[in-house]
Amino acid sequence: MPLPATGTWNAPGKDGAQADTVLTARQDGVPLLFFEVDNCHETPEELADKLERYARFLRRKMKDTDGKERPMWRTRWRAPESRHGDAPHPPVLLVFNHLGKRDPNRKVPRLQELTRHLWQGQRVGGGHHLYDGKIPVVAVGLRNLREHGPAGAVFFRFGREHPQPLLEAIGNPRREAADAREQDRARAQQAAHKAQVQRAAQEQGAKKAAEREARRPVCAGCGAKFTDERWAAAQSTDWDTPKDTHPNLCDACKQKVGTVVSPAADTRERQEPVRGEVGQHDFKRNARRPVCPECGAAFTDERWKATERVGWGVTPEPNPSLCGDCDRRYVTDVREVWADERPQQEQGQALPIQKATRWFSRRT
């Protein structure tokens, strides 16, 4: 498979590489892998030159069919997008078939030193490396590959101390472990923050509830706290809602005082006016029904309206503080007192008749 550093896919130029095999097996976790087979006839310097050509090809960019510039190898093969700050090139697998006179165990250490700038990553604080712009170079013996297969720990990646299975050798398991730890830490912090917000909301809600409960009215009659419905009704200020007659009493106590018996008249007085009984000259009634200071009886509806009725054509009541019975008795007593001082003509005594004087009479 030609890997042109210059020219095109069909007409590659000079200084390009040529892979012995290109493998794509995404279903097995291998998106793209270049194979370079060495029969142990080449020197480490010759292999290093091949890897340099791989690097030139992998760095080459060109415009894709959508007009965007991409690495040339991505215009032919698909591979997952790299993470930010860590965009390694596809790995190169060196398969050593020990047929020639050169020992792979001696060639690999020398090849590592010659190509360190191509594969060495940058160590970061999480204990792993980033391989941005680097080529993962992996070496394996053909005999071990046949015996253990790709799942065996026979793949030696340049820069690591121990052989690994293929997927771990071409990947970055320490980076994945660090990412998993970071995600767990972020989830734990998010959960802790969420729990803290919930606790704060609960504490704020409990505080507001306690403050509202401290403001809850208490019945002036029995001392019981108002229910939410009674509290709302006592404080209602809607235009279409009549003003509560006993805002300081609970529902039970309000029902008990809903009817008041007048001791002066053996009739039951309504505590609230009936709709439609208010005249055009009536004021809005007070919240509390007046009580007669003489007999202690509550005003009837008629007496209550009469004492509060005002207007240009209405004569005010002479005794608005008295109930109807006391007002009538007061008028009767006054008439009896003034009966003794009536004019003499009403008592049977004749008054002398005065002769009218004509100031301007005509003299005859």
Same domain? For 15 and 155 the reply is yes
Number of domains in the chain: 3
Residues 6+ apart with CB under 8 A from 147: 154
Same domain, 19 and 136: yes
Residue 200 counted as domain residue:
no
Can you tell me the distance from the alpha carbon of 211 to that of 213, in angstroms, rounded to the nearest whole number?
5
Would residue 66 count as lying in a domain? yes
Q: Where a domain ends, among 205, 226, 257?
A: 257
Same domain, yes or no: 222 and 142: no
Question: Over the stretch 85-132, which tens digit does the pLDDT of each residue have?
Answer: 788 999 999 999 999 999 999 999 999 999 999 999 988 877 788 898
Q: How far does the chain reach from its first CA to its final CA, in angstroms?
A: 168
Neighbours of 312 (CB within 10 A): 5
CB atoms within 10 A of CB 135: 20
Residues 227 and 120 in one domain: no
Residue span of the structural domain in which 238 resides: 217-257
Is the domain of 18 the same as that of 62?
A: yes
Does the residue 351 lie in any domain?
Answer: no
Residue 156: name the closest of 168, 142, 170, 140 by CA. Answer: 140
Q: What is the pLDDT of residues 204-222, one digit of tens each?
A: 999 999 999 999 999 988 8
Q: Is the domain of 6 the same as that of 108?
A: yes
Specify if 363 maps to a domain.
no
Range 114-119 contact pairs with CB under 8 angstroms and sequence separation of 24 or more: 114/44, 114/45, 114/48, 115/48, 115/51, 115/52, 115/158, 116/158, 118/51, 118/52, 118/55, 119/158, 119/159
Most confident of 23-32, 132-141, 255-264: 132-141
Quick check: is 347 in a domain?
no
Question: Which of 35-49, 94-108, 173-187 has the lowest average pLDDT?
Answer: 173-187
Confidence of residue 192 (pLDDT cuts 50, 70, 90): very high
Q: Which residues of 22-36 are buried (b: 16+ CB within 10 A; e: fewer)?
A: eeeeeeeebbbbbeb
Task: For residues 160 and 228, state if they share a domain.
Answer: no
Classify 268 as helix, strand or coil: strand
From 111, 137, 171, the end of a domain falls on 171
Same domain for 85 and 225? no
